[in-house]
Amino acid sequence: MQKENLRVPVISPSGEPLMPTTASRARRWIKQGKAKPFWNDLGIWCVQLLFKPSGTKTQSIVVGTDPGKRYSGIAVQSAKYTLFMSHIVVMGFIPKQGTAIAGIKEKMLYRSMLRRGRRGRRINRSKAFKLRNHRQKRFSNRKKTKLAPSIRSNRQLEIRVISELARIYPISEIRVEKVRADVDKTSGRKGAKSGKGFSPVMVGQGWMIEQLSSIATVVTIEGWHKDGNGTSQVREYLQLMKNKSDKALQAPETHAVDAVAIAATRFVQYKPFYTANTRGCIWVGEVAITDAVFKVISKPRITRRRLHDAVPGKGGIRERYGGSTTPFKARKGDLIEYSTKSKGEIKKVIGYCSGYTGKNLSLSDANWSRLGRFADSKCRILARNTGLVILGTSSPTQLPSYPPTTKASAYGHSTSEI
């Protein structure tokens, strides 16, 4: 991987994404009053021009997506630079390990249990069956295009990240690794099961591709192929390191490198060649893999407000549980800074609001591990809840309104982004 200056996204005065520029040029524009800096929802430092650009021509910039069941990878790649890498933590299937936070699947099961309990309690069983307060039958209003909520939640998070990237990069193409499940003999794969069936993963994949087509041209990549253009083969050709032992590791070597390889297939291909005396295969095209901003992206672990309990409380009084609001100005998911002075030293803690107790706010890190409870009077809001939790360079370890630095904070460690 080459060491290059990280590229800074640039947008026009009207908000149209332009080609990224160098960090030194971006700082010079800001100093001369030709541009203003801002942070997008992914924690990427960008600049917006304050004058009409001399040209708006763009080169090919490709987004590579490696969707997964628990973790996904998304990267932005051009022919000369790697612009962005991310590790996506999706919460559709499994709960957060070591905590009581459930995934989408477990939440749906608990919701259906509460619904059955409510319907059972409102029925007067002393009356005849025909006179009971049963709802009418609803068997003719079903649609055959239902998508599992857990899969929908995973794909929606990936679509959200790509849509945010499309606002700051002139994306020309989106490449998605295609999944093909062994459902029946029609799948065309060896060892496929017999009989009819379908795969919810493939249904979610088709839905995701349909949604992404409104952003840019979508190209599907069959990464399992061994014809030289498979994801693992392209990754080895680009000399990218892969960690196969711990997929939960929040590092580029787990899933982001696969996304980079998928995006790079737009610029390099393994093609056969024929001459008068020889024949074989050769790599065609060029692409440069460089240092890039790396982010770990997930969603706030906020429990929805519970309107009903499985067991009714005494006197019909239901305790507060869940919800996104607090009695203070802050809401759950907001980026909060706590500052206090003790023994002549200023203590600062930055984290996400995850709840409250009395007059104190609970702050958590990007992995939603609680940092502690802090007085609301000594907290201030840095950024409102965007529906995303970002961990990585410059976010949330420092103020979003200032350029990134190499200084470590009380929350964690930050490295220079530009």
**342 or 406: which leads in pLDDT:** 342
Confidence (pLDDT) at 137: 62
Structure pTM?
Answer: 0.82
Average pLDDT over the chain, rounded to an integer: 82
Q: What is the pLDDT of residues 296-333, one digit of tens each?
A: 999 998 887 877 777 777 777 777 788 888 999 999 99
Q: Concatenated DSSP letters for 104-152?
A: HHHHHHHHHHHHHHHHHHT--TTS-GGGS-PPPP--S---TT---HHHH
Which residues contact residue 332 at a Cβ distance below 8 angstroms, ignoring those fewer than 6 apart? 300, 302, 323, 324, 325, 326, 353, 354, 355, 385
Strands (E), 178-320: 217-221, 269-274, 279-284, 293-298
Average pLDDT over residues 66-86: 92
Average pLDDT over residues 78-94: 87
The pLDDT-based confidence of 273 (bands split at 50, 70, 90) is confident
Confidence (pLDDT) at 411: 28
The pLDDT-based confidence of 49 (bands split at 50, 70, 90) is very high
Given a contact cutoff of 8 angstroms between Cβ atoms, the answer to whether 66 and 88 are in contact is no
Query: Is pLDDT above 70 for 212?
Result: yes
C-alpha 233: how far from chain center:
26
Query: Where is average pLDDT lowest: 81-85, 200-204, 312-316?
Result: 312-316
Mapped to the 3 state alphabet, what secondary structure does 306-324 carry? CCCCCCCCHHHCCCCCCCC
Query: Is pLDDT above 90 for 70?
Result: no
How far is CA 121 from each of CA 116, 132, 138, 320, rounded to the nearest angstrom?
9, 12, 21, 22
Given a contact cutoff of 8 angstroms between Cβ atoms, the answer to whether 361 and 330 are in contact is yes
Confidence (pLDDT) at 114: 82
Query: Is pLDDT above 90 for 208?
Result: yes
Query: Is pLDDT above 60 for 407?
Result: no
Q: What is the pLDDT of residues 136-145, one digit of tens each?
A: 666 666 666 6
Could you tell me if residue 277 is left (phi over 0), alpha (psi between -120 and 50 degrees) or otherwise beta?
alpha
Average pLDDT over residues 238-267: 90
Burial grade of 84 (CB within 10 A; 0-12, 13-18, 19 or more)? buried
